[in-house]
Structures are given as structure tokens and as C-alpha cells.
Amino acid sequence: MRRSFNVIDIVEVLEHWYAGRPKAQVSASLGLDRKTVRKYVRRAEEAGFVPGGAPVMTETWAVLVRQWFPELVVPGLRSKAFAICEPHRETIGEMLKTNHLSTVHQRLRDEAGLATSESTLRRYVALRLPDELKAERATPLRDDPAPGEEGQVDYGRLGMVFDPETSRRRALWAFLFVLACSRHLFVRPTFVMDQVEWVAAHVAAAEFFGGLPTRIVLDNLADGVLRADIYDPKLNRTYGEWAHHYGVLIDPARRAKPKDKARCERMVPYVRESLFKGREQPDLRGWRAEAKRWSTDVAGARHCRALEGAPPYTVFLAAEQDALVPLPPAPFELSRWSSAKVHDDCHIKVGKTLYSVPWRHIGDRVEARATSTTVAIYAKGELVKTHVVKPKGRQTDYGDYPPDKVAFFQRTPTWCRRRAGEVGPGCAAVVAELLEVNVLHRLRSAQGILSLADRYGPERLEAACAKAAEVGDPSYRTVKGLLLAGAETRAAPEPTGADTPALLHGPGAFDEDEAAS
């Protein structure tokens, strides 16, 4: 076992050596290893001491030993890591007056090359600078908030339960909302912790209390706070809409400062022990019903030392209920915000569904606000598109494409019949006959006939369709041949026994494309 040395032990070694005794004899007399004796004597020799010199008092040797071996002053400094921290002792003490120890470690590491971990520095400070460390730990007591002034919210893990909907065990969490004045508590168990559930839990808490405090303190979790900043935090947009609707202030706690919402933090173990452990419920609905009852009947009736033993629910009814911000007359509409880039197909994905966006926003990043009924899409804060919610699949408005890119998709059989009716009865009869059988196969022919109105005009097209129907050949090639030959107003030739309608195609008709341009 390695022997522990102190200043008196080293002084004894030096006094024996300085009296003229050989190092080997000192080692044998004091029961020390020769290397150990040589280690301590070497410092005296380097300082110019020679055995048999002028007398040196024991107190003088003690002062010199403390200077030569500072690690002996504090036993912990025999650690190499502590010895590295010792030269920075005064700097550490000064910095702790204005900075936290984690910041002190970071600055010494970056600016002075301190090669120890933060935990090592913390142990060193506890040993060498205990007063400074205690000063950092000191936490001033805050005055209790006035009734209706503050509420604190958080999530806490309860444990694993069986979920019948997924037929597997899942972690059950609890949303906690504590009124800081009365300590009245609301608990809502949940399996998921996304932004919609976060806001839904706040809505349920508002209904449970019958109102809300003017200020709500929360952690910097992503469901509520997108960017943590003590002066300018960026809130989740759905959460911000909720706060605006209810007229309350969201006040995120400082990062890594659980004492900013200590009333809520302290309740997590209590909820886990009293509500959850040793109990069972058939499903999530059962847990939520039990938690709501428990919040009033059990947690609301508990002995609360901070309230001089008064039950929180009694204090809530007497002092805080009427001080809460009243609920707005209109219910809050839950929404989910998301961001997406508009692809070349003019769609973005919201949830499991693709929704179309006007083609001018291709390549842009837009924001979507999805509710239970609609999806509103915003570009640079401006509403550019609204869709009815669809659970999955695709929701497309062909008006969001350039007209020339979707002309074929827009000219459906219904559109063809309506457009043919606008041209005239002859055109309507030809299109109706084409679409009577095998609609999808003959749809292009109907579209081609109607496109001829753009080149020849509706009047000539109507006459050509009537002529084609009269000769018994209501096809795209016949109608186009009549228009090319200008024969739509001529009398039909007498039958000769041959298939004369084919002659109505006109010269050069067979050299034209069969499909509409």
C-alpha cells in the first residue's frame, strides 16, 4: 500500500540528512524507500544545502517544504490534474465572481490552454476554493407569484405501459401544468410529444382550470420553443397562435436552469409515485380520465408545506380561480405548421399528402398551416393556396400549372361535351358519338376536333361536324379534311356504291398528323 506523506514527514527526512546521515541510513531508519529519500533530498541539494552546514530550524524546513512541494499543502493536489489547475487559482477565483464554473473552464481551456476536464476543475474548486463554489451555488429565494400571475409546464416520464392500439409496450409521459401560487396541478398522460399534442395539452389545461395565468414558464423544448434565447426566443408558430388566442405570455426558462420552474420540476416524481406506479388502466383514455380525477381529488387535497398545510385545490378556489385570464368565447383551432420546398411537379408534402402550389413558386420554400379541415400554404407570409384536407394521396389543382402543360389533363370527357355544346348541336352530336363507347381511347379524337375551332373558328367547325354526321363518318380525320378542303358548306355527292365518305377527307389530309396539336 502506498504511503501518504505530509510536510512533517518530509521535514524529518531532511533533518536526518542535513545532520550528516547517509541517505541509505535515513531510508533504513525511517522505513522509507531510497528513491523516496533521494526525491525529497534532491530539492534541498538543488537549493544549495549541504549536510553539516549552518543550523536550520524545523519551522524553516517546513516553510521550504511547502514551497518545494505545494501538493503536500492540500492532499488533493498530489493529483497531476489538480497540480495543472493550481497555477490558475487566482484567475479562477476572480472569474467565479462573475461567471459560472462551466464558463470559467471554457475560457481557461481556450485562452490559457487548461488541459483538464470541467469535472476535474469542479473538484479542484471544491477543494481549493470552497467559498467561491458555494457562492455560485447560492440561490436567492423568490417571492411567491401573485394569484393568476404564473403557471409552469413540463413533460415527465411515468414509465412503460401496454398500448392496445399498437399492441406493444410504450413509454407513457405526462404533461404537467402547475399554478405557481396555489400549486394546483393538471396532469395529462400521452404517448406522443409533438407540437400538436403540446398545444392540445395546454387547451385541456385551460378547460380544467377554467382559465389561464397571465404568464407561462416552460423549458426550451422544440415543441414550444424553436430557438432558445433569454431575450428573443423564437416560439413554435402553433404555440404562438395558441398564446395569442388565449391572451397569455409565453416565458421560456433559461437554458439548463430547472430552478426557473422548480414548482413543476418537483411534481414529476410525486406524479410518478402517486398516480402511475402500481396502477393499471386499459388504454390512454383511461389514463387521462384517471389523471384528471387524481389532479383534483388526490393532488388537490395533498398537504402542502409551502401553503402552511392548506390543500392546493382549496387555495385555488379561494384565491386564484377568479384571478385567471378568462377563456375566450371561440374555441381554439389546432393547427400544425410545416415548411417544404416546392418541387418541379408543383407539389409539397404536408403529412402524408401531396398538395399543389402555383407553379411560380417552384424552387421556393413555403410554409403550410394544416388544420383538421384545411391546408393553407404561405409564401413569404402571403397566402398563395388553400386546399381541403386529404388524409393521404394527392390533392392537385391543375390551375396551379402553366396552361400549356396541363391542357390535355383539363380537357376531360365532361369538358369536351360542354365545349362541344358551346360550338353547336352538330359538334355536340359528333363528340357525343365519339365518347359513347371506349371513352378513354377516343378522348384524344374528341379533343382534336374541338381544337380545330382555334384554327378555323367555331362556325366552320360546327358546319364541318354537321356535314360529317350527315355523310355518316363523324371522325377527326373527316372533320379536318372537310375544313382543309373548304367543303363543309358544299352539298354531299351522290352515293356510287363505294365508300364515298372517305373522299371528303380532302386533298393532302392523309399527310397531316392524326393527333391534335
pLDDT (tens digit per residue) in 402-459? 876 666 566 778 888 888 888 899 899 888 888 887 776 778 888 888 888 888 888 9
pLDDT (tens digit per residue) in 92-109? 888 887 787 888 888 888
Is 271's pLDDT higher than 90?
yes
Average pLDDT on 13-41 reads 87
Is 310's pLDDT higher than 60?
yes
pLDDT (tens digit per residue) in 358-376? 999 999 999 999 998 999 9
Range with lowest mean pLDDT among 61-65, 228-232, 383-387: 228-232
Confidence class of residue 181 from pLDDT cuts 50, 70 and 90?
Answer: very high
pLDDT at 357: 95
pLDDT at 232: 46
Is 496's pLDDT higher than 60?
no
Closest CA to 468 of 440, 432, 438, 505: 505
This model's pTM is above 0.75 = no
Are 255 and 246 in contact, with CB atoms under 8 Å apart? no
Average pLDDT on 380-395 reads 92
The string of DSSP codes covering 118-165 is HHHHHHHHHHH-HHHHHHHH--PPPPPPPTTSEEEEEEEEEEEEEETT
Check residue 475 and report its DSSP letter. Answer: S
Are 414 and 446 in contact, with CB atoms under 8 Å apart? no
Q: Sign of dihedral through CA atoms 180, 307, 289, 165? A: positive
Is 196's pLDDT higher than 90?
no
Are 442 and 417 in contact, with CB atoms under 8 Å apart? no
Phi, then psi, of 130 in degrees rounded to 5: -65, -35
pLDDT at 505: 47
Average pLDDT on 10-17 reads 87
Are 148 and 324 in contact, with CB atoms under 8 Å apart? yes
Is 493's pLDDT higher than 60?
no
